[in-house]
Structure 1
Amino acid sequence: MKDSAVVKVVNFAWFQGVWWLVILFQNQAVIPVLGLIALWLFLSSKRIEDIKLMSAVFVLGTLVDALLTYSGLFIFNETEALLSFWPIPIWLSLLWVAFAGTVYHSLTVFKGRPVLASIAGAVFAPLSYIAGAKFGAVELGASILFSYIFIALVWSVVFPLCFYLSNRFEAKLSQA
């Protein structure tokens, strides 16, 4: 599938589908989400780049949300632990994988624009977490205002970092 306006819309809709699945069904969504991630990788024109970025963001996102969980900002129900050794619910780690699947496709407007990416991360990511809390996927351990501000600060760095990583992976592939 070549990257075009249609691909951007399909990729955006794909991510929204994953988001709604994990927010509404948490652990029950793991298998369908894995299937959707596999489907995207099958369709992607940047399969190798997507796999590398998804792997890196899987680790990065799990660490970020684990720190936010250990700090008390995010609270998950103990019964949510599908994998007892995993620091956050696995569905949340998979959401990070799906997010990474948008970087080369529907989110290309932020490529090479770290300030814009920082602002977008600071504005929109907290809204996603707060919406997740409203649907019961996570409990916020602080007020909505404090949570928004703290998540905004984190994502003002994380979002542009994802594009930095994507550029590094593309550069290494073009050198090979």
Structure 2
Amino acid sequence: MTSDTNHERWLSDDEAAAWVNFIAVVELLPGVLDTQLQHDADLTHFEYFTLAMLSEAPEKTLRMTALAAATNSTLPRLSHVVSRLEGRGYISRLPCAADRRATNAKLTEQGWQKVVATAPGHVSTVIRNVIAPLDAADVADLARITGRMLATLDPDGKLRPRQGVAQKRPSEA
């Protein structure tokens, strides 16, 4: 047992203030992103993120397991969302040529057009709510701090989003 488990440790006032602010962001930001995407594109943030991950993949195709990792999702949750997106014509599922047991998800042309049309509004919302309130040093600190948190939460790096998500214009992908 470590010494931390032998006695109770509580958050300092500074730690508690940071924690409460962090939790407020974690709770409020998804609603802001979902509201904008629902209003402008009739997509949830998770649906858009799924399409965006496919838009950046080679040949706009990923194995479902790789797509689940890229979206920090479970396979059952992803499968449900992919079914909805498939029904709307944005994604198609096809057998994986390299492994018959696996299934690939592929962004359709209609899905690509949806990403291209949706990205500017989404990026504007991210800039307005996350980036604009910060200066350049804050942005670097945010990347450093969240990187350290992710290293603890995901020590093998299996679920970490790739760099560049929502930064590149779809036309650059």
Q: Which has the higher contact order (CA 8 A, sep 6+)?
A: 1
Greater fraction of residues in strand: 2
Same fold (TM over 0.5): no
Q: Higher Cα Rg: structure 1 or 2?
A: 2
Greater fraction of residues in helix: 1
| TM score, norm. by length of structure 2 | 0.31
| TM score, norm. by length of structure 1 | 0.31
